[in-house]
Structure 1
């Protein structure tokens, strides 16, 4: 248990140091906030002195000093007004600090998401990543704002109050100071318990977000297979755990306030008794006792505020720790300082003794060798899981090879910039992706400065123009998130139009026409014929009718090229490809 406590404390300290690094650029606002807190506290603490003097000015029959009383009331009114103005400005400054820090953190998190290797994204649920970037940063924001708003003021109030109380009576002040540590012990015990629960709450919330996101993405499949009851049961199990952690976190955080209030009531009672004896013994005036009791209240209130902030801050720290853990994930392998820019590629591609596996214990591609001449069309076929898509991922450098090398125009792709390599490929995948924007913006995604004429020409070449013109707003029609207001085939045509517009020097077509009807597919194939002329092209296909004109067909199985040649050559061999072809086209 001590080791666990020490580990939690060390983790909290590390997280706080990271938070301070994000706060550092706004040091001038922090100093301003501290100065305003000091002004607020000084004036707030000065008011009880004035109040005590006012009490002494009227404490006695026929001894009311109206002139002094009016001057004191005026001073109190001015102090309260200035305090209110300083507090308003301080709160605004604290908001600026908090939301600028959160903006920087969220921007950095999103930028880091773009830098992470695809392997990391593949290993983590999308919902969990979304939870870290959105929900966890929001939780962190709430705790940080409370920290700035209350912690600074409370800390200065405690120090200032002790100073004022010492100036009135050191012995009674000693009663307050001696009894205070008990409240710290109570708060410390509760904060440790609440941190553990808030951490588990944060992690489970991310799990629930990921599961909900997964179920929403596949709601049609869930309903088609009648999996609703199982999905509900799984959701309820995660939700039950989240509810349990949330309840415990709330319980521990909620007992902080009454527990500390009880301690402070004991302190107040002790001061009252000691003060009454002080008045009887002529050590204090009635006005001074009034001031002292007011200071006792003001002294204990910041402790209550701090303990309340600490429990919320535990939630904030737990959320921040998840965000920083995400930010510390290793980005893609850095490009060398002298990385070359791939300009005007000819399209000569060589794979030399390439080996790759997603996990070391499950080998996938081994000793793969391939040479592609400029302008060749390379078709890749084979059973599911044979390594077709993996080969595409390696060509695009979404993953790096474990051994061997891939070269473009004689240069190892690890020695060139990823941006120049990937921009040299045009890719159409079986899984379409369109952003929530207009049809026009989606087609021009890879060429934002394209003219209207170029966009329309690309759409016509992809046979998308006619259906676009039938939409309510034509090219200005806004596609909903995920393209749910379009059919799968229409989304595929827009993705093809996007490539038609860019005209990249190399192409990757991964089941590019799988969601398109036969008649449209024939027209698209003719468009692709024009597009592929003079361009090195890789075509992944299950339907062998789409690859019969390829210059070379690679037949893959278990990460190896087991056959290669033209369509006619492979049929004559009567091997794996011939069996695949006959299974699709031979009469039943």
Structure 2
């Protein structure tokens, strides 16, 4: 049971910090972690048995010194002493074996618990609304999976059981000391009380610096991540010296707080060690006097001295491990804080179904009149009603009726917006930055719900459509392209997982991506890494467009989709656009106004309001806001 006691030093690797941070609600957080433990109840039973055996072994081994001294050493019974030494070795061997299995099983429990928590946390993130991610940085969320989860895992595997073991050993040692000699116990209790009080005071002081250290480490990690991501910008503007100077300041602040925190933590160990020696010496002196006076046998004195030597270890160990456990509980609180967030409400009743119409106009034995122009196999909205479900063919008719929206519920971003897009039409949104163009597209797919007005899709209020089904019918290409680690084919197929290789290649040809893909080292099997860092910005955008095309949705949303593509590539895309837009509703947010000249309708937004609408020629003839934007951009070009 004897372990080397050392201060808890924050780990420098991987951004992991073991700094002390007090949780807000220890009881509630502990209960939730224990609920995860409950899934490993049989393993925990084994751990408890092993813990009792190992603790009992440590206490019994020290107590066994009393009969050894009194019965064998003092009388000079060497044969009996040899047998007693074998028994003592067996006692400690049992404790070692129990400790081994206890640690082995706890590692399994810790890994399983962290695995379940990590899985639940990731699944929770999939259910959270976009608003949550708008108000939390990626680094902040990633720290839940890394620093916080690591702290929980380490505490479960090592610190929690060590803390419990230390408490059991401490209490058991006190009981044995009291049994051996109440007088010596009273003497030792005074010094022990002082040791515990001093340990608590110094731990509180070090807590302040550990918190400063944790904060400084977070700032340091964040600055390093920011500089590495923006290294090209740093070099372009020649700010290497400035970056180095700023880093030195942040690094020195971390060093200062870490040095003080580590020093105070080490000081606790040093003081406790010296007080332990004082305790041992005091017990030896008083015990010797009692033994000479005949009030205490030698065996009891030897056993008591052994306990007094051991008593400081569980105190030091508990002080160390308590910091780790509290840090883990604080990390678990941060994890549970995300898990407790309100999930995205998905209360729609209208679903998307695939309908096969028979030649006689029946489907599943129910008379269904196939609308004129309807394919024999297509997607349709299943709308529940009093007389069962009504099928509404999915066409892509989108309409806004007096829509007003605000992200924060105070400042309106859109004001009384009314517009419509009939199936097959292309609607373009133009306007200054912050005019509300992207917000409109976010409302179509219900990333956010409107506060006033309605949005209908094929005559159905989008609030009644299940979000998963609604988004399945929409294709979206964002200005900020994100590609996943995997092959080019995998990234294209992400738009529709059951798409065949031929369908993916056809989509790439229509998006004018096939030619550059074939020039890659392994063509469609080329592995993309680092969010497409081995591709140009234009190539990444082409893959994103291809990914949306392979989904073949009736409604396509292009948010600055060609902003990062050169003029030649843009022309290639436009050549395939006509065929792809046939019978498809398209919403375009354009950076280059030249790309929306042929849109059915162009809507000009300013400060969340529609100030102009019409086609290109009519808006230019009006010589209003669109004319100013178009002619200004033409002059620049």
Structure 1 length normalisation: TM-score? Answer: 0.91
Q: 1:507 to 1:204 in 2, by over 3 A?
A: farther
CA distance in 2, matches of 1:587, 1:496: 27
Q: 1:192 to 1:370 in 2, by over 3 A?
A: farther
* In 1, Cα distance between equivalents of 2:546 and 2:290: 89
Contact 1:194-1:314 within 8 A present in 2 as well: no
Q: How far did residue 398 of structure 1 move?
A: 2.2
Q: For residues 81-96 of structure 1, what are the structure 2 equivalents within 5 Å?
A: 81-96=93-108
Q: Cα gap change, 1:331/1:206 in structure 2, threshold over 3 Å: closer, same or farther?
A: farther
- Hey, what does 1:150 align to over in structure 2? 162
Match of residue 274, structure 1, among 253, 272, 286 = 286
Q: Counterpart of 1:180 in 2: which secondary structure?
A: helix
In structure 2, the residue matched to 1:48 is 62
In the alignment, the residues of structure 1 paired with residue 534 and residue 600 of structure 2 have an alpha-carbon distance, to the nearest angstrom, of 38
1:295 match: 307
Question: What's the CA shift string for 1:140-171, capped at 9, x where partnerless?
Answer: 33333332341122122123223333332233
Name the stretch that deviates more: 121-130 or 467-476: 121-130
Alignment-derived partner of residue 372 in structure 2: none
Pair 1:498-2:512 in alignment: no
1:24, CA displacement in angstroms? 3.7
Provide closer, same or farther for how the CA distance between residues 200 and 350 of structure 1 changes in structure 2, counting only shifts above 3 A. farther
Contact 1:127–1:213 under 8 Å retained in 2: no
1:532 aligns with 2:581: yes
TM-score by length of 2: 0.84
Matched, 1:221 2:270: no
345, 351, 359: which one aligns with 2:400: 351
- Distance, in Å, in 2 between the alignment partners of 1:394 and 1:203 is 38
1:453 paired residue number: 502
Change in Cα spacing, 1:463 to 1:363, as seen in structure 2 (3 Å) is: same
- How many equivalent pairs are there? 578
Q: Secondary structure, in 3 states, of the residue corresponding to 2:64? A: helix
2:601 to 549, 552, 560: 552
Q: Distance in 1 between matches of 2:156 and 2:614?
A: 64
- Measured in 2, the distance between the counterparts of 1:15 and 1:279 equals 51
Query: Structure 1 CA distance, aligned partners of 2:307 and 2:26?
Result: 33
The correspondence of residues 427-466 of structure 1 with structure 2, limited to 5 A, is: 427-466=476-515
- 1:250 pairs with 2:299: no
CA 1:120–1:542: 2 relative to 1, 3 Å: same
1:97-149 CA-partner distances (Å, limit 9, x unpaired): 22222222222333333333333323333223222321232233333333234
Once the two structures are TM-superposed, the CA of residue 433 in structure 1 deviates from its matched residue by 0.9
Secondary structure at the counterpart of residue 587 of structure 2: strand
Whether 2:355 is the aligned partner of 1:341: answer no
Q: How does 1:341-420 map to 2 (within 5 A)?
A: 341-343=351-353, 344=380, 345-359=394-408, 362-420=411-469
CA distance in 2, matches of 1:431, 1:198: 39
After TM superposition, the structure 1 stretch with the greater mean CA deviation from structure 2, 147-156 or 558-567, is 147-156
How far 1:57 moved relative to its partner?
Answer: 4.2
CA distance in 2, matches of 1:264, 1:444: 67
Matched, 1:480 2:480: no
CA distance in 2, matches of 1:25, 1:15: 17
Counterpart-to-counterpart distance in 2, 1:265 and 1:350: 83
- Using the TM superposition, name which of 341-350 and 378-387 deviates more: 341-350
2:64–2:88 contact (8 Å) kept in structure 1: yes
Q: Does the CA contact (< 8 Å) of 1:256 and 1:307 recur in 2?
A: no
**Alignment counterpart, residue 117 of structure 1, candidates 111, 117, 129:** 129
The answer to whether 1:159 aligns with 2:178 is no
**Following the alignment from structure 1 to structure 2, what is the Cα–Cα distance between the partners of residues 311 and 253?**
10
Query: CA 1:486–1:117 in 2, change beyond 3 Å: closer, same or farther?
Result: same
Task: List gaps (5 residues or longer) in structure 1.
Answer: 1-6
1:209 CA drift (Å) = 3.1
Q: How far 1:509 sits from its partner (Å)?
A: 0.8
Q: CA shift at 1:8, angstroms?
A: 5.8
Q: Is the contact made by 2:23 and 2:326 (CA closer than 8 Å) also made in structure 1?
A: no
Tell me, yes or no, if the aligned pair for 1:489 and 1:516 is still in contact at 8 Å: yes
2:18 corresponds to: none
User: Closer, same or farther in 2 for the Cα pair 1:390/1:520, shift >3 Å?
Assistant: same
The structure with the largest helix share of the pair is 1
Gaps of 5+ in 2: 1-20, 354-379, 381-393
Q: From the superposition, tell whether residues 486 and 41 of structure 1 become closer, same or farther in structure 2 (CA, over 3 Å).
A: same
1:443 Cα offset (Å): 0.9
Q: Give the C-alpha shift of residue 78 in structure 1.
A: 1.7
